[in-house]
Every structure is written in structure tokens, then in C-alpha cells.
Structure 1
Amino acid sequence: MSHSTSIEQAGIVDSDVRSPSTMRATTYEDYGDASVLKIAEVPVPHRLPGQVLIKVQASSVNPIDYRLRRGEMKGLLPFGFPRIPGYDVAGTIADCASDSIFRIGDRVMAFLDHARGGACAEFAVCATDVTAKLPDSMPFDEAAAIPLAGTTALQSLRDHGQIAAGKRVLINGASGGVGAFAIQIAKAYGAIVTAVASGDNESFCVSLGADKFYDYHNTDFTELSKQWDLIFDAAGKSGYFDSRDVLTENGRYVSTEPDVKGMLVTLLTWPLSKSGKVMLAKPNAEDLRELIQLYESGKMSVTIDSRFSLDDVAAAHRRVESGIDRGKVVLINQRPHTEK
């Protein structure tokens, strides 16, 4: 895809962090397909106490973004319009309190803590405690790929899956944005990892550390005579009751499918020895710092499927909706040049 190389290497340098009164942002006024996404000039969000204002250099698109845009979760998030999509941010601090742990110009990543998003814009605000400082070695495009997907993988495995060295972990949807991080995080914690994805992603999953691989076209892992201590369905394609027989006693099933059926599974199975959990990641700076540390230590890399400009958010959404085989779709903020 031309977008994967068309935008300059995204370690964007921008020394001007002053914030104007308005900004360009991707907005939508109603639910619908990707065509509802439009570029608009909107006010720069106001920073409240305990918040930072970030000049966004890069963000990324996650499945939750197009699902919200299509109205799939309007019962859970019944907010009004217009909306600015996106939860992943990488950029520089444009404004913060004088006693903040950050300084203007600091390079940061953030997992936005607003239910409606706000990342697909030139500026975004969020709480200080969902923001983490970036090392100089991490380019903005790679940083922007991490927050939501990396936090989802980390919290699913560590908090809900109680991962530990020697535990047998199966990751379904292992080559996607969340799954690729999950393989690497599980290996960093010393787990034995089985990856499930399409056959052409076997070498990719093995390169990330998977010990065993199954092509879901040829093998239904729920029908195997094996058992795992943790099944993490990063694709939302299996179900707790389908997977129960291949869980060990006291095994755990974790999914990222945020729907009513999944929530019921969480409620109904929590007392059982084999529990099921449908999780939604919670923004947390400590978790971002752990992910950054894994990156810096070489235990976690970032795979980018493609890069799009802010003006091409609709195309980026369509790319994610079509199904990503490997890695993340990243948005690079570049104000278009105007002729004088």
C-alpha cells in the first residue's frame, strides 16, 4: 500500500508548541460509514486543572473507533455530536500546569480518557495520569500505535489473565494490533505462547516469540485435545463457552469484545473455577510506562501496517474495517501547505 511509505519517516520534529485558538480535526455529526468523517476547523480544547494539552503529531485507528462511528455502542456511549474519533496520541506538551510533572515541549504518549475520543485532531487534552513521557529513541508514529492496543494486551494478560512464567497462553487473533503486542508481552512475562491467526502470518507471529502456531482456517483450537491456562481472544471471534473445554482447571478466558452478551459472560462466570472476562482497557500512565520500558529493552517492537495523513482518516478507517493482517494503522498530522 502506497500509504505505508508515502509519509516521511514519522519522527516528526516540531519546535513550535504554541497553541492557537482553533485547530483542524476530523469530526462526524452522525453515525454512519467512513464517509461521515470530515475535516473541520474547531476550537482547541481547553485544558482543565490536572490535564495537559498535547500537540498531536501522530495517532492511530483501532476497531473501537469505527464501531463507535457506526453506532454499534450508542447504548453504552450515548453522547451527542459532533465527535472527534480516536484514543491514541503521541506528540508534545503544548500547555500544562506550572507544578506538572511535564514541561512544555516534552515528548509524550497518551491514552485519552474521554469516552468520546478526541485524538484525530491537531491538539488533544487528557489527564496527566494517562500521559507518559517518551524516550528520544521512540518515533512518534510507533508511539502512537501503542496506547490503546498495548494497554489492552497488557491489562488482559496481567490483570485479568494473571499471567506468570511457565503459564500456557493461547492468543486468538495473534497477528493484529492487540495480538502482536500480546505475544511479546506474554513472552516478556515468561509464558509459553500459542498463536492463532491466518496461515500467512505464521512467520510473523513466530518472529514475535510465539512457541506454537495454528492456522485458524485449518484448525479449530476449541476442538483440540490440549489445554491452556489462559485464552486471550484478541479478535473477539471465539466465545467463553466454546473455549471452556480447552481451559485448564482455574483457567481464564479473556476477550476484547465489548457487547452485551460479553458483559453477561463476565457476570455469570466470575464465581466459576474457569472464569470468563470481557475487558475494556482503562487509561493508565503506569501501564504506558511499562510498555515503553518493554520497547526500550527490546522486548516489544511495533508493527505498522500503513500510515495516513489527518486528511485521510476516512481511508484509514476503511483500511481497519477491511481487516488488518499485521500491526496498526497510524495517522500522521501534517498541516497541508498553502500557496502564497
Structure 2
Amino acid sequence: MTDVLIFAPAPLLTVTLEGDHPGGDLHVHSGGQGVWQARMLRTLGRTVTIVGSFTGESGRVVQHLLGDEGIEVHPVVRTGRGPAYVHDRRTGRRTVVAELAGDPLSRHDLDELYAAVLREAMAARIVILSGPADEGILPDDVYRRLAADLRAEGVPVVVDLAGARLEAALAGGVTLAKVSDAELREALEIRGDSVDEVVAAGRRLRDAGARSVVITRAGEPLVLIDGEHARLVHVPRMQEVDPNGAGDSLLAAVVSALAEDRPLLEAIALGAAAGALNVTRHGLGTGDPEAIHRLRARVTIEEVGDDDAQVVTPDQLAARAEVDDR
């Protein structure tokens, strides 16, 4: 049994130029939301399986690179153009040289992919439904169908989606939904940045089909909606090198803890630490597991709207739970 199954519809090939010396260095990796999540899960010691489509020459390279990282792959192999990008970071900032969306999934490919997810989910502790980089790869309704079918089989489902894909997954029902306040703003779910407005949006997502919701806020405390509870999750701010992939690292660390049957608040604290540390690194979805666990001890959680609420660490919350269980 694998710890985590990730639905990654179309992993991409990433080519990045780095370095400040003449010519720089060329880095070739597998990438995309599901891949970056898988990388952090492997960092934290989880076994990971990816189900995805691998298209053309770039797809063959991506599949090989994933195997080198110890990630099990169940591929739907097809001909055509696979998604890829070339970025130049020799100046310290990302400059897009080229971005290729890749070919949409055919009906036959989509049927194969769907069947593979259902088959492999039966041997996983938890499933992440991630999105492709391009909007046109597959229909949004696939997420509703997958969420509903997996939930019917008793498999916990976590999603890191936005817009119409998130709406579709919520209609199927999910265990945990992660979204950013920027994505909520783009979807007109919120207009400002007040905590009350973000909490209200999180509760709407909960009511739409998520048991719990975590909303990231670009360096500000996370908002967690869990049942009737609304909480702020505080983490020390790090000097930022590259913010890309922080949300994927956060979600992956949350899922890593949930796969071990850890309480949600402990899982969120670990995720907050992983996301915070990821911005200090150049590699997306990477991290130092010991540093993540040490920073987790500095994460604090408080109830929203309770002026008398005590700010506590996840370890203190866990200790209280042990006392209550006696």
C-alpha cells in the first residue's frame, strides 16, 4: 500500500537556466503541481504514487526523472506534444523563455487515466487531486466525478485547486480543500484581504462540500476552517528566494501527517512550516525534513474572533487531546 496517491493529469518537463557565471547552469527536472507535492512527500519519508498522462518525447523524459526520485508512476502514455517550460533565472528572477501547454487529453486517454486513478486509489491511504498547468488539458467535471467516486469508496480526498475545478471537486465532496486568497479574489469570492472576509469565504467552501478548508495568504497567517472552528495559523516569516511551490509544499506536508493519522491541527502546523521554508530554496517542492519539523514547533494557532483565546502550539494542543482521552 502506498501512503499517498497523486492524480497529476499532465506532469511537465521543466528546463531552468541558473547561475551568475558566463553561460550559467542548465537544470532539467520533472515539474507541475502534483510533482512538486510528490517531491515534498518523499522528502518527509512518505511513499508516493503518481497517476498521470505522459505525452511524446518530453513525457518519456519526465517519467524517467520521476523514477529517479523514487516516485512510483502509473502512466497513460500517448503521442503528441507534452507540457514543458524553459525559464531563465540567471538574473535572480524568473524570466519565461518558452511555455508549452501540451495537447488536451482525448476521450480514450481520459478513460484510461480515470480507471488508473480508481484502481490505484484502492491501495492508498489518501489521495491528492492536483491540477494541470493549462486549463484545456481535461474537463473540470472530472474532479467532481473522481471526488464522488473516491469518497464513496471511503478514500480520503485532498484537493489543491481553484476556480471551476475547485467548484467541481467540492460538488463531489472532499476531506480537505486548499486554496489561496489570491485565487479566491480572482474568483470574486473575496474582494479585500480582511480575516473576516477570508473566513466567510472559507465557510462557504466548507458548506459547498469540504470537511475542512485551508486558505493561504501570501506571508500572512493561514486561515483554517474545520467544522465550526475558524483558526489563524502563524508561522515565522522567512527571507524569500522563490515563492513558487510554497503552497504545494504546504499541502504535501499536511497530507504527509494525515497519512500517519495525525490530528488535523498538527498536520496544518507541519504544512505551514514546510511552506514557509520552501520560499528560502531554489528547488520547488524541496526542503530539509529536520528543519521543517523544528520550525513546526514555532507555529502557533489561535481561534478567530475570540479575544480571550490563548495562542498555543500544535504540541500543546496534542497534549490537551491526550488528557481529554484519558
Point out the structure with the larger helix share. Answer: 2
- TM-score of the aligned structures, taking structure 2 as reference length: 0.29
Higher relative CO (Cα under 8 Å, sequence separation at least 6) belongs to: 1
